[in-house]
Structure 1
Amino acid sequence: MVDSILIATQAGRALAEAARRAGLRPYVADLFGDADTLEAAEAYRALPGRFGTAPCAAETLAALDDLADAAGHPIGLVLGSGFEDAPDLVAHLARRHRLLGASAETIVRLKDPMAFATLCAQLRVPHPAVTVDPPDEPSHWLLKRIGGSGGSHIRAATRSPPPPGHYLQVRVPGRPHALNVLANGRAIEILAVTEQWCAPTPSRPFRYAGALVRGAAEPGAVPGSVVAAVADAAARIVAATGLSGLASADILVDGTDWWLMEINPRPGATLDILDRRAVPMLEAHIAACQGTIPELGPAPVGAAAAQICYADQAYAPVPGLDWPAHVHDRPRPGSVVRRDAPLCTVLAEGADRAGALALLESRTARLRAVLAAKKTLVRGSPR
């Protein structure tokens, strides 16, 4: 009998497909119930809530209890995005299911901005200053939501103090990258350095758009000295917090200067482009959570990229489409996607960075042309 595994996250398709690649039967709870999530899941339960906020505790617990009953004896629970600002819920889930990933205590140390800033100061890791006091010079600061993900929660600061659940972080220069790692609570294995970019709107200037991992033979995305320094910092943070499983360190890099912005203590948006080795990423994640970092095999030769295609109009309803194989997170026909919400994810691989990006952009443009030709009209309630 193939082992079953529980998955709870905001959007569960990538983790569900990763579970299938690892030879597991995924039982999934998420916000969207996209068509390919339902195809990959052995069973599915919807989570109420809004993208970017923690799901309702009582309904999340009920959904996972229901899925656990359907799964029989799942090997554990993997959490994706959406739980970083809900450590109490994570602790409750860990008492009911075997948690494969960061503990509630680890999440608090990594995602509470003041605790994380203190940890970075103790370990002498470069990290932008944070505060909850009104700023003297608002243009020097950014307003962020505690536990936020995806960049949509980041705003320019004003002279007002941060509202409840928010904090200020000083602006620093640099281009966004991430060091993607596998941690076992004591040490790390570097998986890749990924480049990231934004899809800004007037109200969401730092909205996450996509990520790319270069081919194995290409020059590194950041200087080798920076990679070594970030890896050393990440290893020391892992040892201090007991973080285990797939994780990423978000950094801004300006020449040879760098700042650690945050640690994402979970499988993230880069899972699709990382899960191309001989050992499936979710299999490696589970092993690391049990204390062992497996031999993963060589990094893939080619480059890979993934990009969120945001809706440039509302789809109410989403039309029936013959989605190409490189399009994922496909909304079900008849569902509603509001304007500027994530519509789907486009993937591309290439011999190198330039090839992968060119294919990604052409695929995204063709998809938008097909959607425009459908002339689906706009208005509807949020997805």
Structure 2
Amino acid sequence: MAASPEWSPPRGDAILIAAQSGRALAQAARRAGLRPYVLDLFGDGDTLALAEGHRPARGRFGDGLSGEGVLSGLDALAVMAKTPPIGIVLGSGFENATDLMERIARRHRLLGAGPETVRALKDPLAFAALCARLAIPHPDVTREAVAERSGWLLKRAGGSGGSHIRPAGAGRAPSGAYFQRRVGGRARAVAFLADGREATVLAVTEQWSAPSPLRPFRYAGALERAAREAPILPASTLSQVTAAIAGIVAETGLRGLASADLLVSDEGWWLTEINPRPGATLDILDRRETPLLTAHIDASLGVLPLVEAAPVDAAASEICYAAAGYAPMPPLDWPDFVRDRPQSGACVPRDAPLCTVFAAGPDSAATRDLLRVRAATLRTLLATTEEAR
């Protein structure tokens, strides 16, 4: 592993960000001393406060960004910057849009995984073949009709957030989708940094879902345990997962901050997918001395940073989905623990992501308790605001 790099982006440099939701990346950019110019779907209040410039994107959360307007929006943001942006960081929304990634890369330097890498990791059959070749446990996948449908899930290739996952239906998988065999286990994720050749593990997080009748597997939140707590993964399992990640990085040339999604049981573990980008755990992981976006940029440029010790406290975040539709969103005095705050007047459909709640505490139990209290406080605030309208 290479030593910590001598290069670092000068403070005040401009950086482009494009994602379904760009707030966490914009916040990470500010912590790294950069000036973020953001293109995303939501234009939340705190995103606009963090960004030097913002342009709206078209698309649907969970389905990705529509190519229409992305390039022109990014070009407009680049023109707004006082100095040429050092590059662009892509968040969620491009996993099934590698052709668009190639077009972006011809205009702006990609700081993260390249389109060929994303294509290799997000093609379900190719990724399954890669795991088989590297002897990595990965659930069976197919696009053909499955006999025992109760033992399979239907997923959309390149989908994110879990909202696209359904029980398997009859017949072949629809275009752009595939079947994955169900496997048991607890949801875990391993965040890591990669330089295209090697990887180093940053953290392990617990994950959980927020099921709804139409979206039984949608992502809810994640937690990083306190330093004094027992590790989330046994040492032997983490060693095996680390070796699997190293093999995948060496095969695909993956660069930057990424994560491996796992299902872990007493009998073993399964790698379900690789997310080749900064993900939903960015908020809870960006608590080390070195800003995480700085580490992402260094790794993307081929220099693998040294990973610093984990923070002492635990931290967690959870998406709050709208229990009712808001058209328009009423004015709210948002608590400090709420992030991704929709602007007054915005339209938030029922069951769409409303905001994110953050909590930290001395251990996992205290942090989860605080997260529940804060979520309840938010629900009360929303209900009170509705009654007052």
Q: Which bin holds the TM-score, normalised by the shorter protein?
A: over 0.9
Deviation at 1:245, TM superposition (A): 0.5
Contact 1:178 1:193 in 2 (8 A): yes
2:380 corresponds, among 365, 369, 373, to 369
Asked whether 1:51 is paired with 2:61, we answer: yes
CA–CA separation in structure 1 for the residues paired with 2:388 and 2:307? 47
Q: 1:242 to 1:316 in 2, by over 3 A?
A: same
Residue matched to 2:72? 62
Asked whether 1:202 is paired with 2:213, we answer: yes
Q: 1:123 to 1:376 in 2, by over 3 A?
A: farther
CA–CA separation in structure 1 for the residues paired with 2:66 and 2:265? 39
CA–CA separation in structure 1 for the residues paired with 2:289 and 2:304? 14
Q: 1:58 to 1:317 in 2, by over 3 A?
A: closer
Which portions of structure 1, spanning 4 or more consecutive aligned residues, are displaced by more than 3 angstroms? none
Contact 1:6 1:27 in 2 (8 A): yes
CA–CA separation in structure 2 for the residues paired with 1:377 and 1:154? 37
2:39 corresponds, among 20, 29, 47, to 29
Contact 2:58 2:68 in 1 (8 A): no
Residue matched to 1:381? none
CA–CA separation in structure 2 for the residues paired with 1:377 and 1:139? 46
CA–CA separation in structure 2 for the residues paired with 1:206 and 1:54? 18
1:279 corresponds, among 290, 308, 311, to 290
Residue matched to 1:6? 16
CA–CA separation in structure 2 for the residues paired with 1:245 and 1:363? 33
Residue matched to 1:128? 139
Q: Structure 1, residues 265-312: CA drift from partner, whole Å, max 9, x if none?
A: 000000000000000000000000011122342210010000001111
- Partner-residue secondary structure (3-state), 2:257: strand
Contact 1:182 1:190 in 2 (8 A): yes
Residue matched to 2:279? 268
1:18 corresponds, among 18, 28, 35, to 28
CA–CA separation in structure 1 for the residues paired with 2:38 and 2:265? 40
CA–CA separation in structure 2 for the residues paired with 1:295 and 1:46? 36
- Partner-residue secondary structure (3-state), 2:65: coil
Amino acid at match of 1:53: D
- Partner-residue secondary structure (3-state), 2:69: helix
CA–CA separation in structure 2 for the residues paired with 1:67 and 1:363? 35
RMSD over equivalenced CA pairs, Å: 1.2
CA–CA separation in structure 1 for the residues paired with 2:115 and 2:246? 19
- Partner-residue secondary structure (3-state), 1:153: coil
1:229 corresponds, among 230, 240, 251, to 240
CA–CA separation in structure 2 for the residues paired with 1:182 and 1:155? 31
CA–CA separation in structure 1 for the residues paired with 2:282 and 2:116? 24
Amino acid at match of 2:100: L
- Partner-residue secondary structure (3-state), 2:373: helix
Q: Structure 2 matches for 1:338-377, cutoff 5 A?
A: 338-375=349-386
Q: Structure 1, residues 28-59: CA drift from partner, whole Å, max 9, x if none?
A: 00000000000000000000111122322231
CA–CA separation in structure 2 for the residues paired with 1:58 and 1:104? 18
Residue matched to 1:305? 316
- Unmatched segments (≥5 aa) in structure 2: 1-10
Aligned length: 378
The two structures have a TM-score, normalised by structure 1, of 0.97
Contact 2:200 2:307 in 1 (8 A): no
Contact 2:224 2:315 in 1 (8 A): yes
- Partner-residue secondary structure (3-state), 1:57: coil
CA–CA separation in structure 2 for the residues paired with 1:67 and 1:256? 50
Contact 2:314 2:362 in 1 (8 A): yes
Residue matched to 1:117? 128
CA–CA separation in structure 1 for the residues paired with 2:280 and 2:310? 18
Q: Structure 1, residues 59-95: CA drift from partner, whole Å, max 9, x if none?
A: 1011001111112310000000000001111111111
- Partner-residue secondary structure (3-state), 2:187: strand
Asked whether 1:290 is paired with 2:298, we answer: no
Asked whether 1:326 is paired with 2:337, we answer: yes
CA–CA separation in structure 1 for the residues paired with 2:209 and 2:107? 37
Higher mean C-alpha displacement, 112-121 vs 368-377: 368-377
CA–CA separation in structure 2 for the residues paired with 1:194 and 1:231? 14
The two structures have a TM-score, normalised by structure 2, of 0.95
- Partner-residue secondary structure (3-state), 1:309: strand
Deviation at 1:256, TM superposition (A): 4.4
Residue matched to 2:328? 317
Higher mean C-alpha displacement, 368-377 vs 27-36: 368-377
Deviation at 1:226, TM superposition (A): 0.9
Q: Structure 2 matches for 1:74-85, cutoff 5 A?
A: 74-85=85-96
